[in-house]
Every structure is written in C-alpha cells, then in structure tokens.
Structure 1
C-alpha cells in the first residue's frame, strides 16, 4: 500500500487537508487543489457531520478522475464510513495497529500518524512506510532528520502547522511530502504549492 503514496507524492509532494468546510466549499477547494497539481486531498471525518463533505468530495473526484481520502480515522466504524463514502485512502493522527491491519486487509492505503520512535517502529512493523509526522510544527525538521537515521525506510508526510514559510524546510529535512491544512487558504500558499509540485523529495 505504500506504493500508492510513493506514486502520488512523486508526482506532487503535497497533501491538502480540507477540514470543517461545507460540502460545496469542500468541492470548490478540491478543484483548486487539483488545478494546482495536488494529487492527495484529504477530508477529515472526526465527526459524523463531516461525512457529507467527504461524500461530495469523492463524487467530484470520481467525475474528474481524481482521488480523495478520509482523515481522522481512529476507529473501525470511522474506517467503514470512510470506505462507504468512497475514500481512496485513509489517514490518522495516531498509530493504531487495528486500523493498520484493517486497512491492509481491505486493500486501502493508510497513512498512520507518528510522533515518537516507538510509533515509527510500530507503523513500519505493520507494513506502513509512509507516515504522517504529527504535529510537524512541534516535531520540527530536526526531528525528521533524527528519525531518518534509525528508520531509513520511513517516509514522512509533515502535517500540522505546515505553511508557506516552513514547507520547504521539511522537504529539505527529508520529508516525502508536506500537508497544508488551514494554511491552504492563505494567499501565499498557492504559489508555494505550484513551486513544490515536482520538487525533488
């Protein structure tokens, strides 16, 4: 399943996270992300009220030939809801062995969250090489460099507090991708994403 993230981030080392938006606004932002060359768009479903936005996004993705994933997947029920809504991949803020195993058995690419060496080791043991470094702004690019030493097969997606000002620093530290959440709406972000698409990671 890591091959999925490998392919998608090699084309564009960027993830866009669309949280707490209306279904219509989510679709609008999806198209903006796709127009910029972003291939990985995530809609978190921490609450049931976010599921309509995910459903709208996956419908728009299907019509356009794109893919949308679901974030904040921390239970089996959430995983099932995400898959039923058409999510092509799932993302979590934590490393949960049960979710990792479930995603693997269902053939759904999963991006677990890591914040410690133990998390990284656990996720790798479960077959996940692509890992969500969260919260990246607190972990810092130096943490990425430090983890790449003992875990050379780990590929990190810096998430949480990433913006136009620090995205390149995370890529230069060895991240395979960076994720823009609330900062996606910032005026400077579109230019940075355009510059990062195709950036060697």
Structure 2
C-alpha cells in the first residue's frame, strides 16, 4: 500500500510539476517513464479529457517510480474519482470548501488554486498553506508573489499558468515559491509523435533549475 503523501512532499520533490493533458491512454505509461527518467516523479494528469482517469490508473499501476496526481479537480466527485483511480495528490484551479473536504476524506494532499488574497485566506482557514497560484503569469506573476510574501509569509506557492523554462528561474528564486507547474515539459506534438527522448530531456532541464530554500 502506498504511503500517504503530504502537500509539502509533493511540492518539494522537484522544481517543476508537469501539467499533463492526455488524449490517448496508450501514451500514459511511456510518458510517465520518460518523465521519471528525467528526474520528475510528481505527475499532474489533468482531468480535462475523457481518458484522464484511465491514464492515472495505468500510471499508478505500471510505473511504480511515478506519483500520479489529478489536476483540474473542481468538485467533490472529481476528488473521489481521482482517488479511486489511484491518484496520490490533487490540484485544483480554484478552491471551495467542498473540494477541500472531499480531498481530506479521500486522503489526497491538495494544492488548491488561488489568485486573490481572499482565496488564500479561505484556503488557510481550512488548513491549506501550500497553494497553487493560478493563472500565475496572467494574475501578476513574480510581482504578485512578492507582494503576497508580506501578509502571507507562512504560505508557499506553486505558480502555474504561463510558466516557461525562461521565466521559471525568476519565480523559483522567490522565498515563497516551492516549485512551479508547467506544461512545457509535455508538449502535445512530442506526445503525439511518441518522442519520449525529447520529454526526458525537457525533464532533465527542469530538474536542473535552482530554487531558493
């Protein structure tokens, strides 16, 4: 039986959590293996396609070195379905008390999405201090995170949305950023072409990024 993770463990495993969109279940295992080969274990498979839960299930079963998580968790039923599929953590684009409660009941560490001070406070009221800042670059990027560091010095963030290999270093240099989320590690054309070597190389570039502790 898998050991239960904590949100800090999810965020501290690598500088980048890949944001993955899969349209074909047969791509799930080779993609996960390619990312693991590049040093990335925490895999956020977004619930944006009809096959997402099946992809989480097959990764959890066949790639033991990967930690499959569910992204785009928007409801209690999403959280429950993700847990049943074998997800080890959850990521949401926003935050509601119902999603937080469902993830706790399912034993899923949750990185709730926030974009305002009020959303941060609501998540903290429910015990969440490791948060996803989304959509990060559209909502203020590094400047917003610097502004939040004063009133929310006890919160750590995973900025996601518009993050690239080029702007990730600035974000990772901030004291309140634990990691970033990015889709650049799993480009759609590489997945469609089965170019797993390219994805491994992108993962290696990501693990080489330096973050402030």
| TM-score, L = length of structure 2 | 0.83
CA change 1:88–1:185 in 2 (3 A) is closer
Residue of 48, 51, 54 corresponding to 1:52: 54
Q: Do the aligned residues in 2 keep the contact of 1:41 with 1:67 (CA within 8 Å)?
A: yes
For 1:79-94, list aligned pairs within 5 A: 79-94=79-94
Q: Is 1:41 aligned to residue 54 of structure 2? A: no
Q: Distance in 1 between matches of 2:182 and 2:62?
A: 20
Residue of 6, 9, 25 corresponding to 2:8: 6
Structure 1 residue 73: Cα displacement: 0.9
Residue of 27, 30, 53 corresponding to 2:29: 27
Q: Distance in 2 between matches of 1:80 and 1:161?
A: 28
Q: Distance in 2 between matches of 1:71 and 1:161?
A: 16
Structure 1 residue 149: Cα displacement: 1.1
Q: Deviations over 1:35-89 (max 9, x none)?
A: 222231111113433222222222233xx24311011111121111111100011
Unaligned stretches of 5+ residues in structure 1: none
Name the residue aligned to 2:72: 72
| TM-score, L = length of structure 1 | 0.88
Q: Distance in 2 between matches of 1:9 and 1:76?
A: 22
Q: Is 1:154 aligned to residue 167 of structure 2? A: no
Higher helix share: 1
CA change 1:21–1:200 in 2 (3 A) is farther
Q: Is 1:114 aligned to residue 114 of structure 2? A: yes
Give the secondary structure class of the aligned counterpart of 1:143: helix
| Larger CA deviation: 76-85 vs 18-27 | 18-27
CA change 1:97–1:41 in 2 (3 A) is same
Alignment: residue pair count: 195
CA change 1:144–1:116 in 2 (3 A) is same
For 1:102-141, list aligned pairs within 5 A: 102-139=102-139, 140-141=141-142
Q: Deviations over 1:109-130 (max 9, x none)?
A: 0111000001111111111111
Q: Deviations over 1:85-116 (max 9, x none)?
A: 00011110001111112212332201110000
Q: Do the aligned residues in 2 keep the contact of 1:92 with 1:113 (CA within 8 Å)?
A: yes
Unaligned stretches of 5+ residues in structure 2: 188-197
